[in-house]
Amino acid sequence: MIPSPARPIRLLIVDDSAYNRRNIADVFANHSEVEVVGKAGDGEEALKLVTTLAPDVITLDLEMPRMDGFTFLRILMSKTPTPVIVISSYSQRENIFKALELGALDFVPKPDRLGPEATEARAEILQKVLLVRSLRTSFAAMTLVPKPSSGAFRVDEKVGGGDDRSAAPARPYRMPRTLVAIASSTGGPSALLHLFGRIAPSTQAAFVVAQHMPDKFTRTFAERLDRRGPVRTVEASDGDVVARATGFVCPGRKCMEMVLSGSQLSLSVAPATKEDRYVPSGNRLMRSAAGAFGARCVGVILTGMGDDGVEGGRAIRDAGGVVIAESQETAVVNGMPAAAVRAGIASEVLPLPEIGEYLAKM
């Protein structure tokens, strides 16, 4: 159950380093909203403490002796689904996304040292642990994202693959018939992996994503989306051409906009400005999509805190396009979708599987 405001959030810290366990606990020393109820040095000890302590949230290191973080996550999510914040180094990007697919809620990049000098990381740990109060009232394990069926597509049928943009022969440019602009935050990576796994190989749409994520992780995430389905997906670069069956993830700490020049659609990628409340900005992406593609736009607002996507979604609706908000039954954090619903801009409010069906049939 999600803790009520009347009592502190019960936190279990799991890390094989006594130094890290101590420093993570110190983050909450002066915060009455969080109570550190236990510490564990490996997955086996953590599973025992989950049973006896019933924590509301867990911070988790992935590389541990005896039982690593992946095995712990598999067992935890099958028996006692509990929100997990992964704290792992920048060098373990692939492992972090694997953990998110196994059910972890979110992650914090771990610096070389987590002492008092690591102010940014410590603030982010605090913020994401406090986020547990914003989760839907009954947290269920985020199931493993289904892989595409074996006959859905072949890698060599993509326009390109992974980071090698010249791996496939050049094809004549074909303007997308539809542009799908997606905004997401906490819980978004797993939701996006699900959606990209549902896209039909015959799609004539293009997909652009503003996922709130640190800059050193968006490229790895784009590569995982690329492997998930038939859409050739990369981390966006300034000037990239947007064609049918292509996907682009906005780099962290930057914002992405659509540019229509004659009969060609491309991207403008630039650092965020002081006016951008969220980075990457779903609002900027969707507003530019509405300006470039009008009624041929579909805006999708997925799980996350705040209200990113509302202004951009309004621009898409005003231009005659469609805006889909994820429903509260599947949105891990219902802030962004609920804000879209309250603003009256959502054309449809759908659970995640039905959004996948919508994109598959589009």
Catalytic site residues?
Answer: 185, 212, 308
- Amino acid identity at 37: V
Q: Cβ contacts of residue 275 below 8 Å, gap of 6+?
A: none
* DSSP state for residue 294 in the 8-state scheme: G
Distances (CA, A) of 217 to 34, 250, 319, 353: 28, 11, 33, 25
Report how far residue 12's alpha carbon sits from residue 81's, in angstroms, rounded to the nearest whole number. 14
Distances (CA, A) of 42 to 27, 45, 320: 21, 6, 53
Q: Cβ contacts of residue 15 below 8 Å, gap of 6+?
A: 21, 24, 39, 40, 41, 59, 60, 61, 64, 87
Backbone angles phi, psi at 221, to 5 degrees: -65, -40
Report how far residue 295's alpha carbon sits from residue 306's, in angstroms, rounded to the nearest whole number. 26
